[in-house]
Amino acid sequence: MTGRVEGAVATAFHEEWGRVVATLIRMTGDWDLAEESAQEAFARALERWPDDGVPRRPGAWLTTTARNHALTRIRRGRTENAKLKELGTMTGPREPPWRSDPSGVADDRLRLIFTCCHPALPMEARVALTLRTLLGLTTGEIARAFLVAEPAMAQRLVRAKRKIRDARIPYRVPPAHLLPERTTSVLGVVYLLFNEGYAATEGPDPMRVDLCAEAIRLARVLHALMPDEPEATGLLALLLLQHSRRAARQDAAGDLIPLEDQDRERWDHAAITEGTALLDDALRRGEPGPYQVQAAIAACHATARTPGETDWPQIAALYGRLIELNPSPVVRLNRAVAVAMADGPEAGLALLHDLEEGLAGYHLLPATRADLLRRLDRREEAAAAYREALDLARTAPDRRYLARRLDDLRRAD
Amino acid sequence: MRYMMLICGVESDEMPADVFAKLEADTGEWVEEMDGRGVRLFGHRLRPVDTATTVRTRDGETLLSDGPFAETKEQILGFDLIECADLEEALEVASGHPCAEAGTIEVRPLWEE
């Protein structure tokens, strides 16, 4: 019985934390009080639900309990910042109706997301604040996720909340003319979180499955809150497709296994099915964006039963489209790889020449050149390029991979 | 809520005369618009940094030095005090200032309780 109630509280925490905090921030204007009240509500639930039973609408129960706690605190005058705003609907007159919600009232979690991801806040604070307030991760959990000391992470959160309050970053969905740019900023936070897990830049592990899972959770919330935003759908599709390979991406030693050598039976086929279905939905709207195109590329890989079945001409064309949307040198490098697979290594090599300047110091440029030279059997040049890449690679698994390639080349002689 | 806009950039004598003339005219238009909206409370262009004197008092002794607070290429050229609903509006006002195109504008809330 107790276990069942604890399970119900845990589920409610997972599903309702962000909603309770978001609503309490709107009601009180005080971020710390909102978090404290939400915590109090969940503590009450653990006390009361075993005797009273799990309420029919746990979210409503939790929000009411949190609100009552906040009210008590404010009446006692023990809070520094809160001025209780009208309880009930406090949609500011300047806030436009949210386009995908026929009621015209935005979900509080949208206000919360747009405020947490406001460009006036530093990027790392945006991620941390979103994880804390929307997903309910503790400061300690976020600190561990980003491999920083807990006091430093606490400080980062305090500063961000202080700036929101003191510089008065508004708690609302941005007006229509700012919405596309701000939505990009919100999606960018989720993408950054996922990438930190997918290809960790720090720490001993080349990937961090927990971070990827939190990013997907966040992407699901965004997709649910912005059903009319095809890029939100595209982002969720992309993350599901990338994450579907997690069980096949690492060998026993913890090294990354290249796509063509992965055991495709170990891919998460349910995630692939969901990802491709979401992508189809998004593309049907006819408003392609960078996340949808990247998801389409990921889908080409995910749906090829063998490496040989991969539709490289299609992937090369998609990268061409991606360059139009996001002309970054890394995207151009990826296109060169795809072109090499579709039209041969010579064609790929020709495209690498223009990238030297934009990607100076990036180990994947010489590593790619080395692979193409190896396939052309220009071994000495290939070996020199592998050595160049080894000098630039920073993580241990990357270095081991390159060293192995260099070794294979020597042995072939 | 009141915000201070610190207008930073290169001094006018480091830009071509026609560029400066346009900047001055555009700034005049911005001032007129923001005064009209009731957003701008006060503001001014400052004399160049070679007219600046920096003052420090240490152990009761006053130390004067010629020049600005920080020797950087971009300097504070002027300021505007604005009254806005929130940071969003302040940023919108600041991004419309002609100096935002070539220079930098720092927007900071006044320390008000």
Query: At B75, phi and psi to the nearest 5?
Result: -125, 165
Asked if residue B33 belongs to a domain, the reply is yes
Among A77, A75, A88, A74, residue whose Cα is nearest residue A34 = A74
Does pLDDT of B9 surpass 70? yes
Res A111: pLDDT: 94
Q: Which of B87, B92, B93, B106 to mutate to test the interface with A (most CBs of A within 10 A)?
A: B87
- Residue A170 contacts B, CB cutoff 8 Å: yes
Sheet strands (E) in B1-113: 2-9, 40-45, 53-58, 61-66, 75-83, 104-109
CATH number, residue B38:
3.30.70.1060
- Cα of A285 to nearest chain B Cα, Å: 31
Q: Are A222 and A183 in contact (CB under 8 A)?
A: no
| Closest approach of B70 to chain A, Cα-based (Å) | 24
Contact A193, A218 (CB under 8 A): yes
Q: Would residue B42 count as lying in a domain?
A: yes
Split into its structural domains, chain B has a count of: 1
**ipTM for the predicted complex:** 0.89
Structure-token pair, residue A161: 């909340």
Please identify among residues 345-404 of chain A the ones whose CB lies closer than 8 Å to any CB of chain B: none
> Which pLDDT does position A97 carry in this prediction?
44
The tally of CA atoms less than 13 A away on the side-chain side of residue A198 is 16
Query: Can you give the pLDDT at residue A77?
Result: 78
* Substitution target from A80, A162, A168 for chain B, most B beta carbons within 10 A: A168
Q: Is residue B69 part of a domain?
A: no
Let me know if residue B15 belongs to a domain: yes
Could you tell me the maximum CA-CA distance found in chain A, to the nearest angstrom? Answer: 82
For residue B91, which residues of chain A lie inside 8 Å, CB to CB? 120
Q: How far apart are CA A291 and CA A186, in angstroms?
A: 13
- Verify whether the Cβ–Cβ distance A170 to B88 is below 8 Å: yes
The reported pLDDT for the residue numbered A413 is 65
Residue A168 forms contact with B (CB below 8 Å): yes
Please give the sequence-ordered ranges of beta strands (E in DSSP) within A220-367, or none if there are none: none
Q: What are the pLDDT digits (tens) for A29-61?
A: 999 999 999 999 999 999 999 999 999 999 999
Q: How many helices (H) and strands (E) does chain A have?
A: 18, 0
CA dihedral over A97, A102, A108, A109, signed as positive or negative: negative
Using a CB-CB cut-off of 8 Å, the residues of chain B touching A120 are: 87, 91
Query: Cβ–Cβ of A120/B108 closer than 8 Å?
Result: no
Residue B25 lies in a domain: yes
Backbone angles phi and psi of B41, in degrees to 5:
-90, -40
Q: Dihedral sign for Cα A109, A113, A118, A123, please.
A: positive
Structural domain containing residue B34: 2-48+74-109
CB contact under 8 A, B87 and A170: yes
Instruction: State the pTM of this model.
Output: 0.83
pLDDT score, position A220: 95
Domain boundaries, chain A: 1-82, 176-200+208-307, 361-412
CA distance A388 to chain B (A): 38
Distance CA A94, CA A112 (A): 17
Nearest CA in chain A to B108: A167
Task: Write out chain B residues lying below 8 Å of A121, CB-based.
Answer: none
**Residue A396, pLDDT score:** 80
Q: Is B108 on the interface with A (CB under 8 A)?
A: yes
B109 touches chain A (CB under 8 A): yes
In eight-state DSSP terms, residue A250 is B
Task: Report the residue of chain A nearest B112, measured CA to CA.
Answer: A166
**Mean pLDDT for each 10-residue chunk of chain A (413 residues)?**
83 93 94 96 96 94 96 78 46 43 65 95 93 92 87 96 95 90 92 86 73 92 92 98 94 85 96 98 96 98 95 97 92 95 95 87 93 94 95 85 90 74
pLDDT computed for residue A265 by the predictor: 96
Question: Is position B60 within any domain?
Answer: no
Interface of B with A in 52-91 (CB under 8 A): 85-88, 91
* CATH dotted code for A1-82: 1.10.1740
Instruction: Give the span between the Cα atoms of A57 and B98, in whole angstroms.
Output: 53
Does residue B55 lie in a domain region?
no
Asked if residues A222 and A113 have their Cβ atoms less than 8 Å apart, the reply is: yes
Strand partners, B61: B58
